[in-house]
Structure 1
Amino acid sequence: RHIIHTVGPVWQGGGKGEAELLASCYQRSLEIAFANDCRTIAFPAISTGVYRYPKAEATAIAVRTVGSFLARNTSPETVTFCCFDEPTSELYRRAIAALGES
């Protein structure tokens, strides 16, 4: 019913605040979803395509930011990470499993 649009940072080597900007993309999208009573939200691997953000780092940021938000809020109830290939899916599975172990 809603589309929440966010633009991720272009990877410039990691020293230009990219990690904070990427985390902000997820955080702000979740805040908007929460404010609009969205029960579900889906995210692509933000910035990992033409913006060249390293997938492992981007995945860790995405999972950590979403996990932190969900620990403090009751919604959204379901978060889906949409992955376009198996290697990316595996990165997300590992990051989610590691989050559950901590």
Structure 2
Amino acid sequence: MVMDTLLRRKIYGNGGDSKMRMVVAYITIFLLSIAFLIATDMLTGMDLTTAVEILKESFSVTTREENMVIVILLLLPLLIPFVTYMRGRRKKTGSLRNPD
């Protein structure tokens, strides 16, 4: 019974590993999307600095409210792993505060 549980943890990992994989996958997809946009501009004949300037220009014309929405949407996938981490920490210690 114990060996079976250990083998399952080794094969499937514990819950924290899958959350971290989700975060890494999200960041990887985000970076690949940015790289794809830059590569597409470079294939059309632009140099690297021009392609990066186009990305910067698209975000420089947004309003403060639009920037807040962009930041919230970028941080939203990180919320679930953070909440899971905090719940696990609370279960281990009993609370988030350390008694003095």
- Structure 2 length as normaliser, TM-score? 0.29
Query: Which structure features the higher share of strand residues?
Result: 1
Query: Which structure features the higher share of helix residues?
Result: 2
- Structure 1 length as normaliser, TM-score? 0.29
